Amino acid sequence: MLKFTGRRLVQFIPVLIGATIICWGLVWALPGDPFKGRCGQVACSAQYIQTMTQKYGLDKPLPEQYLVFLKNVFTGNLGQTFSGLEISDVIGRALPVTARLALISIVIQIVLSAAIGIWSGLRANGPFDVTALFGSLILFSLPIFVVAFVAQYVLGVQLDWVKPTVSTAAPTRELILPAAVLAIGTLATLMRILRASVAEGMHADYLRTARAKGFRESRVIGVHLMRNVMAPALNVLGLEFAALLGGTVIVEGIFNIKGIGGLIYRAIQDREQLTVSTVVTLVIVFYLVINLIVDIACAQLDPRSRND
Amino acid sequence: MRTSRLTAGLTALVALALITAGCSSETSGDAPSSTAAGGGSGSGADSGGGGGTLRISNAITTDPIIPMTVDTATTRVMDMVWTGLVRYDDTLTPYNANAESIETTDATTFTITLKPDYTFSDGTPVTADSYVDAWNYSAYGPNAAQSSSYFSLIEGYEALNPAAPEGSDTAPEPTATTLSGLKKLGDHQFSVTLAKPMASFPSILGYSIFYPMPTSFFADPEAYAKLPVGNGPYTMTSLIPGQEVDLVKTVGYDHEDAGKADAINFISFSEDTAAYTAVQGDQLDYAPVPSAYLPTFQDDFPNSSALVTGTSMMDMQIPLYQEKYADPNVRIALSMAIDRESIVKALLPGAATPADGWVSPALPGYQAGACGENCSYDPEKAKALWAKTSFPGDVVITTLAPQNTLFTSVCQSITDTLGVACSVNSVADRTTYKGIAQAFEAPGPIRWGWAIDYPTMENMLVPRFTDGGSSNWMTYASPEFQALIDKANAETDPAAAATQFNAAQAVLGKDMPDVPIYFQQGAGVWSESTQGLVLTGFGWPDLLKAYKTS
């Protein structure tokens, strides 16, 4: 297990370097000078453009700029945005909000999909299962921004149960509605995956064996069945959690959440190469780490998937 | 025991999530202080006047909120935190604020005398130096102030911003650090000599780029920008860049432009629709109306909404540097082919009026039909003109994504009238779009809205249409137009100046370097508990008059 983890950690390095190079190149390839358009509707003075270009080192050759970026990341100094803010501060403000939003959303997904999915699987083709199937199809086909708008208007404006938008401090209670909206898309997928594996597992040999051994039904389902059902759902959950940490531009916009999604969006618009690369690097690290954790967890669940 | 390993895997996943979320506790040091109502109860400390806390939607950027920054939303915050030499009343007429008097005999040299009893909220007095130093700082090239190019009005700007020599793209070091046109005459008096006569100069001094700066700024600009200090009716108490700015009434601010509300919180919304919904949910006190809600906002807010004649417009700059568009008949035909009336009615019902020139109806001196008949829809004449030209290929209009629908309709109108193929090249982001205009690479007409910086006719004409103007991406240069502008600028009598500006517009109508489309109206909605709110021609409320009843 340790050897497996170590090997995976070493693999991170080329992935990260490759990804940052691609990201760096893409932002750099976007047309338009980042400084020319920074003076509202009038032209910036030539001196302004020159000073800013030198200050942020954009006059240096691209490989050199990239190496400076790498050096900065490793020394923990992330540099400044074009507005003169520390990038670490900017990320430090946005990431906790996004992380809490993602976490709440994942909890909602786990609770609901486990309850509904497993119940449907145990009573496959029963009335509950059929209703759940229809429900999940409807959820799956709803565009997320429509759900977001309707939920915001009905719950926030008409019924006045929640605040329609999230305030700057983003307290957890205000994040519940957007997190629930974000959960909807994956919820349907998770439910179906769980239902399918439970329904399939119910007829599997190992379950018959377990029952024949005389285990209590709760143990048969709770341990023997669940171990085999968990792996695929865990993979989906892991990917979803990483995706949520990468930010969600549309839902953040609708609920005015100041998170990672909007940060990347604006940084790309403003050609803030450093900010984009730093945040993207961070998101990739999340993906890799979460992926690793999921793989380790799956290996624990299913010895067959251990490859070392 | 096997189950414990399964839970171990799951706990690891949850633990990671908690760790990432846990970071928040360390970085929450800059969370809004308790003075921020940030979606809270909304009513601030009651100071007997019952002024309350106004929560205003305002898309501030992350740029520092200092006079060197040029950004409409930032300006709106500065207008509360600072008091400039002049302020604008609700009809956009300037009145002296921090200035006792602004005098000139020749429209070139202005003697500005300050009222002696103004102080910054850190207690330091506002003196002539506060203005002179701030303007010199902004104008000095290497300081990289966004507002720098505006100071080219003042004599001596070139010495602070030498141009790069031919064949090089590196500009030499400036030969001076101060504008030769700025002279301190006393503690509360200084004079400004302009590079060229400009009678409307006193009217532009209410623009935030001309605000004074305290000594603490020059000592350490970066530290100062963390919580800027001004000399205005409100004082900043907390600033989260790009997210929220909280202000409270300045203690002891005893001038006619004092505010009524106890506190103002500017909250940034990335989407106008979210802000509008927040006002509906009583989480916010003012929001502009997003275009999707224009047809219905008066039903949603029957007693707390307004629509005013605004001062921004939508137009298309035509690239005169493209061979295809060099013939004025082509440009005039395009202008006459556009059915502005129907387009505005269909897409912006009640929120815009077809443009009949380049100066907004909200400005003093506006004259209806200043452009002449070339800005009105006349399919017959357009066809006849088009027949005289030899226009190759088709028309490609470059636009920014939000205006896709509008320019698709403009295209349709052109095709319907002239039979020429027309398509919209939609650009998703600002930087790319500005890049196309500023590199002079527009294949055809390019959408270029204009919002005034300060309420003068000069501001709607000079930056866009004079040769070398700061927003002239057409390469338009007309000696005839320039001569009329110069005359208007030198004219001290406002009515006579307006006549000249309107004559200059007639020249634009003849040359048609830019096709006006519509004048934008300003529309806003506010909460039931907000009183005294008036929308001005800036399409923005006069926040000094508004207050909350709890």
The model's confidence at residue A223, banded by pLDDT at 50, 70 and 90, is confident
From chain B residues 86-145, the ones with a CB under 8 A of any chain A CB are 141-145
Tell me the mean pLDDT in the region A150-158: 94
pLDDT-based confidence at residue B38 (cuts at 50, 70, 90): very low
Contact residues for A303 (Cβ-Cβ < 8 A; gap 6+): none
Q: What is the mean pLDDT of residues A71-89?
A: 89
pLDDT of residue B40: 35
Q: From chain B, pick out residues whose CB is under 8 angstroms from the CB of A245.
A: 20
Taking residue B456's Cβ as centre, other Cβ atoms within 10 Å add up to 27
Read off the pLDDT of residues A170-204 as tens digits, 9 standing for 90 and up.
Answer: 999 999 999 999 998 888 889 999 999 888 888 88
**φ/ψ of residue B184, rounded to 5:** -80, 125
Rounded CA-CA distance B441/B432 in Å is 11
Q: Count chain A–chain B contacts defined by CB atoms under 8 A.
A: 237
Looking at the complex, does the CB of residue B295 fall below 8 Å from at least one CB of chain A?
A: no
Chain B residue numbers touching A287 (CB-CB < 8 A): none
**Predicted local confidence at residue A247, as pLDDT:** 85
- Closest residue to B270, CB basis, from A52, A96, A256: A256
B396 Cβ under 8 Å from any chain A Cβ: no
pLDDT value of position B118: 97
pLDDT at B440 over 50: yes
B chain contacts of residue A38, beta-carbon cutoff 8 Å: 146
What pLDDT band is residue A298 in, cutting at 50, 70 and 90?
confident
DSSP assigned state of B173: P
Of B63, B64, B435, the CB nearest to A37: B435
Q: Do A289 and B274 touch (CB under 8 A)?
A: no
- What would the pLDDT profile of B23-37 be if each residue is shown by its tens digit? 333 333 333 333 333
Beta-carbon separation of B146 and A38 below 8 A? yes
DSSP class per residue in B65-104: SSTT---HHHHHHHHHH---SEEE-TTS-EEESSEEEEEE
Across the interface, do A33 and B435 touch by the CB < 8 Å criterion? yes
Give the residue-averaged pLDDT of B313-330. Answer: 96
Between B237 and B171, where is the model more confident?
A: B237
| Chain A, nearest residue to B33 by Cα | A169
User: Is 80 exceeded by the pLDDT of residue B47?
Assistant: no
Q: What pLDDT was estimated at residue A307?
A: 59
User: CB of A227 within 8 Å of any CB in chain B?
Assistant: yes
Interchain CB distance below 8 Å, B3 and A270: no
- pLDDT, residue B20, reads 42
pLDDT tens for A37-46 read 888 888 888 8
- Residues in chain A with CB shorter than 8 Å from the CB of B273 are 254
* Contact across the interface for B283 and A167, Cβ inside 8 Å: yes
The region of weakest confidence among A205-214, B280-289, B526-535 is: A205-214
Alpha carbon distance B434, B476 (integer Å) = 18
CB within 8 A of B220, min separation 6: which ones? none
pLDDT in the model for residue B46: 39
Q: At A229, list the tokens.
A: 């059902």
- The answer to whether the CB atoms of A36 and B20 lie below 8 A apart is no
Tell if the pTM clears 0.85, that is, is over it.
yes
**Range in A13-17, A237-241, A254-258, B163-167 with the lowest mean pLDDT:** B163-167
Dihedral angle over CA of B313, B315, B319, B325, nearest 10? -150
Neighbour order of strands in the sheet with B109-114: B99-104, B109-114, B189-193, B182-186
Question: Chain A residue closest to B245 (CA)?
Answer: A168
CA B311 from centroid of its chain's CA atoms = 10
B241/A167 Cβ within 8 A: no
Contact B67/A at CB under 8 A: no
B275 CB neighbours in chain A (<8 A) are: 165, 256
By the CB < 8 Å criterion, does A220 face chain B? no
